[in-house]
Structure 1
Amino acid sequence: MTGRTTPPPVEPDPYPDPERRTARWRPAVKLASVVLPVCLIGWLGWQAVANSARDVTAHPSVSPHYAEGDRVDASDPPAPESGPSADEAAPSPSPSPSASASNRPLSGKTVLLDPGHNAGNVKHTSDINRQVNIGNSRKECDTTGTSTNAGYSEADFTLDVVHRARQILQDRGATVALTQDGDRPWGPCIDERARIGNEAKADAAVSVHADGAPASGSGFHVIMPAKVVSGPADTSAIVDPSHRLGVLLRDTFTSGTGEPTSSYIGQQGLDTRSDLGGLNLSKIPKVFIECGNMRNTGDAGRMSDPEWRQRAAQAVADALTSYLTG
């Protein structure tokens, strides 16, 4: 049919105005402008958390057991994967009481060491010649002591041996008191020497000396207190324990130094006296040791040797240790 075709009807534009056509999308645009930034922020936050987790896995933090300021070497090998973690590791065991006691057997003990005489006494003769009460008599405050023929003084010898013995005893846990430490111009007097030990409430005391006998005599001897009860002196309680200490000192000194017992005084290296103020006035077990005769060539040579003095100090410390732990 060659007749005219009618075009299909055109639906009217609901929003013929261009402005109105744009307005139809505004709600969607507004929604997208809110949703998309929120999604982006969420995605970025998730990435930050994931990266942080990867960093923690790759670089674990320092164990909290390290104190602030402790250095951790980055070259240290990593801990094995098996076994307890640092937080679970058992602490190092503390030394057992028995082990500590064996290393410091004199813990809780006090010892008095009395280095005989004083190098300054020679300049204070009027002071040291003053008479003091020793209970059963009166006697000089102190004396200058003796010396070897070469001039090595008894005062220097005794202080050196005492310093060496003090170190050994302190290493074993003892509290060590000295009657003088080279820190006084002279003295102290013999009665003060006894008083220092009494006031320290020492468990035992040793007074270190060297003799100035005739050159023909040699060897060492230990002097123990006799029973004296007179005036301020009362040795009744210390005679027996002092004798036990004296025998121990005689034996350890013989074996430790090789020095023979005295050939000129006492019996088998032991002597008992009642005329020494340092013993008469002591309230604690106490003995004297004359480590040798400085006028004898052989004894003087040994006492002038620092190595021998160290052995002498060791013997004194060993005797006190045996006495206090026996």
Structure 2
Amino acid sequence: TGVAALYITHDLAVVAQVADDILVLRHGKRIEHGTTEQIITAPGEPYTQALVSVRSIDHVEKADAPAVLQIQNVTARYRGTHFDVLKNITMDLPAGQTLAVVGESGSGKSTLARVITGLLPPSQGRIRFAGRELAPALAARTRDDLREVQMIYQMADTAMNPRQTVGTIIGRPLEFYFGLRGEAKRKRIQELLDQIEMSKGFIDRYPAELSGGQKQRVCIARALAAKPKLIICDEVTSALDPLVADGILKLLLALQAAEGVAYLFITHDLATVRAIADRIAVMYRGEVRRYGQKTDVLTPPFDDYTDLLLSSVPEMKMGWLEGVLDSRRMEAAGN
């Protein structure tokens, strides 16, 4: 149609496929402007160079450990529907490790999180946690069940009350689970802020006074305040720019090493999976298509869906998309 497009995104790998020129902004100011090829292959400014080179995490898979979470033959559907959203799901998450659950939108990833937390009781199967069976429904679970399984949400803005200070937000689970008040609570809040690398000046701030990365760090601190054994991370970096997301992932790994907490990490981003996961579960239409150690899952031969999923992740190089499409056309012609 000849229409012009302004494409606003964090994802430089996608930009490399669709853009003619790139304008890099930071704090409302122009950092660099040039052709896509120049920005991707030879960025001139330090900030742009950092954006292009980001994902600097080198995560080594951990040795096997006893499972803190066991999902056994779980099937689930939403009330009022006549089809299963999850179908016979089985997977384990060892203590202190990260299980990445990947798949396209609608594959059942977030529904699985709802089942684990008790928000959606399964129609079949069971969930064992820390050696005990969890009640299917949230209302039937004990306070320890609630405390030991926490969540960090995709949109930090909607996960925090804008009328409460950072101290109040982090302090709520300290009161609810441990009865902390007064100076003891404030001291623990400050310890948690130190853990997420935020100074004393943040304790009395409101969410509107924080950056996107700072808001997500506060949500991490709130989850840690309950001293959980498992944290479910639902697309926690998808709304953040690459550099901030990299910092959040490094923080999560450092906290995991210090606290021994396990993560169930729901994501679309396979670069994130490669950076932090010990195990991977690939989901498609409510089923697990591939599951195991990260090295095994990412090593061919692949089933058709996993092969398609992995080959669809954009690479930050010119002409990648054309190459993939040409390859698929040739495969289709050969069949």
TM over 0.5: no
- Larger Rg computed on CA atoms: 1
What TM-score do the two structures reach when normalised by structure 1? 0.24
What TM-score do the two structures reach when normalised by structure 2? 0.24
Q: Specify which structure has the higher proportion of strand.
A: 2
Higher RCO (Cα < 8 Å, 6 or more apart) = 2
